[in-house]
Amino acid sequence: MQGLRLLPLLLSLIAPPALAGPPELEFVYPDQSVWTTRLDLRGEPVNPLLELATTLLGRAGLSWHGRAYPAARMFERLREGSEQVSMLVASPALAACCLLSRKPVAAVELRVYRKAGTPPVHRREDLTGKTVITIRGYSYGGLLDFIEAPGNRVVHSATARHDSAFAMLAAGRGDYLVEYPGPAAEVLADHPVAGLAFDVLSRLDVHLVLSRRYPDAPAVMERLEAIAETLAAEGAHP
């Protein structure tokens, strides 16, 4: 009888351990949205890329959850490898730590708003020597570095909210406002500014980002890219 009782223990010692599956992905995204000023039930900005991630990662059969971070912290965690997947504008810092999809999964315009009579902006150098309003927390695809570089002589006026940024522009406290179309449309629907115009400064492509430390990352990225192309054909992009 004692031998029978010891049999399960002996089998557990000689049986090979169960193979662990890939770790659950954490899809990280900025706690400020380039798409909208609206908030979800948790008080976080609505992010249509979460819907795309739900479909994309679900079809890939990957276990995941989403989490918002301040932009600087999000990039730091991706560089450390403590976070695994996101959808972001490509940058050299990301390319060093992560795989980026060859094709973008979404895109957003970067606009410069101005009052009537103010010269148009066709390139970032047109902001030299001007007063430029921005919203804190955005890097604007690297444009913020140009704005803050002392040699470019840009007078930088930053504010915390989209509505206050347009109020500053309307009051003449800046020559230009750097902004995204979605938040701009929502603010101007409630608080129109007469004689307002905008110029499209650039188109920012958003790529799928996967940490190089994720198990079998190149193969996983290849599979995700194939699914993303299928979703694009179905019109699933934001």
List the chain pLDDT tens, one digit each, 238 residues.
Answer: 454 454 444 444 454 444 445 668 899 998 888 999 888 887 777 888 988 999 999 999 999 999 989 888 999 999 988 889 999 988 888 888 999 999 999 999 999 999 999 999 999 999 999 999 999 989 898 899 999 999 999 999 999 999 999 999 999 999 999 999 999 999 999 999 999 999 999 999 999 999 999 999 999 999 999 999 999 888 766 6
Same domain, 159 and 120: yes
Same domain, 75 and 122: no
Same domain, 91 and 57: yes
Same domain, 162 and 102: no
Distances from the Cα of 209 to the Cα of 16, 97, 164, 213, angstroms: 35, 10, 32, 12
Q: How many domains does the chain have?
A: 2
DSSP conformation class of 8: H
Distances from the Cα of 46 to the Cα of 39, 195, 204, angstroms: 5, 29, 19
Same domain, 64 and 177: no
| Residue range(s) defining the domain that contains residue 129 | 108-203
Report pLDDT for 95.
87
Question: Is 8 inside any structural domain?
Answer: no
Write down the pTM of the prediction.
Answer: 0.82
Report pLDDT for 25.
86
Same domain, 179 and 116: yes
Report pLDDT for 128.
97
Question: Is 195 inside any structural domain?
Answer: yes
Question: Is 238 inside any structural domain?
Answer: no
Question: Is 13 inside any structural domain?
Answer: no
Question: Is 28 inside any structural domain?
Answer: yes
CATH for 99: 3.40.190.10
Report pLDDT for 18.
42
Report pLDDT for 32.
86
Would you give the distance in Å from CA 135 to the centre of its chain?
16
Question: Is 217 inside any structural domain?
Answer: yes
Question: Is 56 inside any structural domain?
Answer: yes
Find the DSSP H helices in the chain: 2-14, 48-59, 71-80, 92-97, 143-148, 162-170, 181-190, 217-233
Same domain, 212 and 101: yes
Report pLDDT for 11.
41
